[in-house]
Amino acid sequence: MAAIPVMTFSVIRRGLATRAYQGTGVYRRRSLQDKILRVDHAGELGANRIYAGQMAVLGRTNVAPVIKEMWDQEKEHLKKFEELLPKYRARPSFLLPIWNVAGFILGAGTALLGKESAMACTVAVEEVITDHYNNQIRELLADDPIQNKELLDILKQFRDDEQHHHDTGLA
- Asked, for residue 4, whether it belongs to a domain, the answer is no
Identity (one letter) of the amino acid at 50? I
Query: What digits encode the pLDDT tens for the residues 101-130?
Result: 999 999 999 999 999 999 999 999 999 999
- Asked, for residue 39, whether it belongs to a domain, the answer is yes
As for how many domains the chain has, the answer is 1
Q: At what angle do helices 149-170 and 23-58 cross, to 10 degrees?
A: 30
Residues in CB range of 105: below 8 A, 6 or more apart: 53
- Determine the Cα–Cα distance for residues 45 and 100; give it in Å rounded to an integer: 7
pLDDT reading at 72 higher than 50: yes
Query: What digits encode the pLDDT tens for the residues 12-71?
Result: 444 434 444 445 677 888 999 999 999 999 999 999 999 999 999 999 999 999 999 999
End-to-end Cα, the chain, rounded Å:
75
Give the distance, in angstroms, between the CA of residue 84 and the centroid of all CA atoms in the same chain.
Answer: 11
- Asked, for residue 138, whether it belongs to a domain, the answer is yes
- Asked, for residue 15, whether it belongs to a domain, the answer is no
Q: What pLDDT, on a 0 to 100 scale, did the predictor assign at position 27?
A: 80
DSSP strands (E only) in the chain = 9-14, 17-22
What is the b/e burial string over 41-64, where b = at least 16 CB atoms within 10 angstroms of the residue's CB? bbbbbbbbbbbbbbbebbeeeebb
- Asked, for residue 20, whether it belongs to a domain, the answer is no
User: What CATH number does residue 68 fall under?
Assistant: 1.20.1260.140
Q: What pLDDT, on a 0 to 100 scale, did the predictor assign at position 24?
A: 61
As a whole number, mean pLDDT of residues 157-163 equals 97
Query: Where in the sequence is the domain holding 86, given as residue range(s)?
Result: 25-170
H and E: helices and strands count for the chain:
5, 2
- Asked, for residue 155, whether it belongs to a domain, the answer is yes
- Asked, for residue 118, whether it belongs to a domain, the answer is yes
- Asked, for residue 130, whether it belongs to a domain, the answer is yes
